[in-house]
Structure 1
Amino acid sequence: MSDMLAIGASGLRAYQVALNTVSENIANAGTAGYTRRTTNIKEVASIGGISAQAIGSGEGAAVIGVQRAGDMFKMAEVLSSGSDLGKTATSVGWLDRIETSLSSSVLSTRLSSFFTSATTLAGDPTSTAARSAMLESANGVASAFSETGASLDRVATDLDTTTRDTVSSLNSLAATLARINQGLGRAAPGTAGNAALMDQRDQTLEAMSALTDVHVSYDNAGRASVNVGGSGGPLLVDGNFNATVGYARNASGTMSFSVLTGVTQQVMSPTGGALAGIMDGAQRIADARQQLQGIALNFVKDVNTVQSGGRDLDNNAGANMFAIDTSAGTAQVSATLTDPRGIAAAAVGGGQRDNTNLAAFAAIRTSGGYESKVVDMTTTNASALAQRKSVADAQQTIRDNAVSSRDALSGVDLDTEAVDLMRFQQAYAATSRVIQVARDTIQTIIDIR
């Protein structure tokens, strides 16, 4: 009877753990990052009078551990697809900011208006209204250059802030993963605590993959080691230790990253995640600023050259119409000519009604190609933006499929849990009945004596 009581008690303990596990699954069915657990129950057999977990003559049941339904291969697909999406989505964001900067000031339209006003003035070089209109157009061009340049400069500043925040987040995640690794080294395998730590580990890795491409390896305790920038990249997390990521941007706008381990610094070359998208955005912003500055410098120089080659309405040598302050930012152009009479419409010795010098404005419009260059910048960026958006849509689908595939294995299915709940409740009730029968039998024997 004592054997019967012990067998019932072992089953009661085992199914209590199983019911707790099912309850935990149901309670966390909607919890992000939670992985389904199952209780492994084995028969306790007697071999030569010694109890062991094996198949044979039964002596009850025992829990040998709580198993987590995670799959490292499906997790790797989630990390890889998340890294790809992170790069493209981040790149889309910066391309969109560049497009807004280039199009909001309608620079190409203002340039066209300026050269059109010069053509209009050529019809009547003495017209005060036409001269005033040309100066108004000159102010419009200067403002458009300055607004576009200032907008691109703000984008570059915002990119620095975003980079700093992203690097800080990555370093924080690396430190968190190191602490989780430390916990995994202490937690007993097959326990609920061990499974919870692995859930936290996977959530941390997924967040890291959105910031940079990660190569992950695991030891027997489930601790993760992480290389960044590919499998050959520097080691960011190794067991309980984590290095730190730093970044720099040179005068030309090129971004670079490094991993600092004590006094050792290794180059980090992210090919995925937000950091890779930031690197791409930094280069595109730098290129756009350089191109715009070049267009502005050439425009100011060419227009001022035309002015200096002619005579104004008072037969004076033409004064500069524009100035550019290279120390104030990108394409910071100002209109310096304020008197409409100062427009040099005539050639030297041509007289007030001469419009010969205005033809030079049409010539530099063609040779300089300022409008077409601005349009090309805008359309090239817009084309890249559209292409990246298309790629991002495809990568979003790939990542969603990877997450669904992982969750199909590791996610909680309430119908399955309901079946297990009833099964373990019945088993628990049955073992309780075994204990009751054993007690009643023992009591009957005692009463007979």
Structure 2
Amino acid sequence: MSDLLSIGASGVRAYQSAMTTVSENIANVGTTGYARRSTDLSEISAAESFRTRSVLSGQGVSINGISRAADPFRSAEVRSAQSDLSRTSTGVATLERIDSSLTDYQLSDRLTAFFAAAKSVAADPSATGPRAAMLESAQGVASAFAGSGRALDAAANEIDTHAKQSLDQLNQLTGALAKVNSSLGRTAADNSGHAQLLDERDRILESMSKITDISVDIDTAGRASVRGGGSAGPMLVQGDIASTVSYSRNATGAVSLAVSRLGTTSALTPTGGELAGIVDGAQRIAAASEQLDTIAKDFVDGINAVQAGGNDLSGNPGAAMFAMSGGASTMTMPMTDPGAIAAAGPSGGARDNSNVANLDAFRTSGNIENRITDLVTDNASALSGRRAVSDVQTAIKDKATAARDSVAGVNLDEEAVDLLRFQQAYQASSRVIQVARESLQSLLNIG
């Protein structure tokens, strides 16, 4: 009877633990990063009596521990897909910012309007109305160049802010992973607490992969060693030691990422994640700013050169129409008097238009409008291509996530079946105990 009682008791304990695990799975069906768990059960092996050589019956069921459903290879695929998508998504956001900087101020349209207004002055150089319209359109051009330049400067500052926020998060994640590693080294495997730590480890690794591409090695205790920028990159986390990553950007848009660990500094060169997108984006913004500044300078120099080659309505030498102390963002139009437009040639009178006609020649030689159009079109083409890549990478990541979740995710239908099965087994084990007690009581009553 004692064997029957112990067998029944072992079943009650085992299936109570199994029901607890199933209940935990059901409760966390919506928890991000939760991996399904199961209670590992095994038979308590029968013993053989060496005195009588008779085989004794089994001793019930034992709990070996809590196992966690996870596939490290599929998790690695999710991290890789996440890094690729994050880089592309960051690049898309940057290209969209450049596009809005170049188009929101209608620079191309205002340039066209300015040259059209110059033709109106050439048609009637002594009239005040066309001159006033030309100055107004010139002011529009200066405002559009300056606005586009400032918008690109703001985009560069936003890149810096984004980078610092990403690095703050990355440094927090590396610190958190170091703590998880430390806890994993002190926690026995095959229990619920160990499974929770592994879930947290994988959540941290996936979050890190969004910021930069990482190479991960897992030891037998489940601790993760992480390198940034690929398997040959600097160590971000090893054991309970976390590195710190810093950021800087120079005037040409070149980004530098430095990893500091135990007094040693190494360069981080990300090929994936937000940081790789930031590196690309900073260079694209700098290139767009440089091109815009060059076009703006050529425009200012060309228009002012035409002005200097003629006389204004009062017969005075033409003064500069535009000014630019730095990049495109500094462009202004100091001219306020319509009569200051140098329409006439050096020896022409009020009705002479020989000099203002030179603006049409500069329009062709300077090619300002087409250069602005090319700048906008090239960026738009890159943006379209990057969006197409993003769509493909989104599908790849979704597929990788689904594959991982097919192993690690909680299926409520399966859990409901297991819950019912373990409940019945628990009740049956309880009945075994009850029968053993009743049988024992009967024997006592006979005695």
Per the alignment, in what secondary structure is the counterpart of residue 153 of structure 1? Answer: helix
Please tell me whether the aligned partners of residues 94 and 281 of structure 1 are also in contact (alpha carbons under 8 angstroms). yes
Aligned to 1:362: 360
Residue 398 of structure 2 corresponds to residue 394 of structure 1: no
Q: What is the deviation of 1:47?
A: 4.0
Query: Aligned partners of 1:81 and 1:348: how far apart in 2?
Result: 67
Aligned to 1:53: none
Q: Kindly report which structure 2 residues correspond to 1:333-352, keeping only aligned pairs within 5 A, or say none.
A: 333-352=331-350
Q: What is the deviation of 1:57?
A: 5.0
Aligned to 2:270: 270
Q: What is the deviation of 1:440?
A: 1.5
Aligned to 2:98: 98
Aligned to 1:302: 302
Q: What is the deviation of 1:366?
A: 1.1
Structure 1, unpaired ranges of 5+: 51-55
Per the alignment, in what secondary structure is the counterpart of residue 40 of structure 1? Answer: strand
Q: Aligned letter for 1:215?
A: S
Q: Deviations over 1:78-118 (max 9, x none)?
A: 00001110000111011101101100001111111111111
Aligned to 2:215: 215
Aligned to 1:332: 330
Q: Aligned letter for 1:100?
A: S
Q: Kindly report which structure 2 residues correspond to 1:361-380, keeping only aligned pairs within 5 A, or say none.
A: 361-380=359-378
Q: Aligned letter for 1:63?
A: I
Q: Aligned letter for 1:382?
A: A
TM-score normalised to structure 2 length: 0.97
Q: What is the deviation of 1:48?
A: 5.1
Query: Aligned partners of 2:187 and 2:328: how far apart in 1?
Result: 57
Q: What is the deviation of 1:160?
A: 0.9
Q: Kindly report which structure 2 residues correspond to 1:396-435, keeping only aligned pairs within 5 A, or say none.
A: 396-435=394-433
Aligned to 1:446: 444
Aligned to 1:12: 12
Aligned to 2:382: 384
Q: Kindly report which structure 2 residues correspond to 1:230-245, keeping only aligned pairs within 5 A, or say none.
A: 230-245=230-245
Q: What is the deviation of 1:340?
A: 1.1
Please tell me whether the aligned partners of residues 74 and 402 of structure 1 are also in contact (alpha carbons under 8 angstroms). yes
Structure 2, unpaired ranges of 5+: 51-55
Query: Aligned partners of 2:184 and 2:289: how far apart in 1?
Result: 49
Please tell me whether the aligned partners of residues 8 and 430 of structure 2 are also in contact (alpha carbons under 8 angstroms). yes
Q: Aligned letter for 1:176?
A: A
Residue 244 of structure 2 corresponds to residue 227 of structure 1: no
Q: What is the deviation of 1:330?
A: 4.1
Query: Aligned partners of 1:108 and 1:101: how far apart in 2?
Result: 12
Query: Aligned partners of 1:307 and 1:262: how far apart in 2?
Result: 63
Query: Aligned partners of 1:234 and 1:47: how far apart in 2?
Result: 55
Query: Aligned partners of 2:169 and 2:363: how far apart in 1?
Result: 49
Please tell me whether the aligned partners of residues 153 and 330 of structure 1 are also in contact (alpha carbons under 8 angstroms). no
Identity rate, percent: 52
Please tell me whether the aligned partners of residues 296 and 331 of structure 1 are also in contact (alpha carbons under 8 angstroms). no
Q: What is the deviation of 1:206?
A: 0.8
Aligned to 1:63: 63
Per the alignment, in what secondary structure is the counterpart of residue 176 of structure 2? Answer: helix
TM-score normalised to structure 1 length: 0.96
Aligned to 2:183: 183
Q: What is the deviation of 1:446?
A: 2.0
Aligned to 2:82: 82
Query: Aligned partners of 2:240 and 2:176: how far apart in 1?
Result: 10
Query: Aligned partners of 2:209 and 2:344: how far apart in 1?
Result: 65
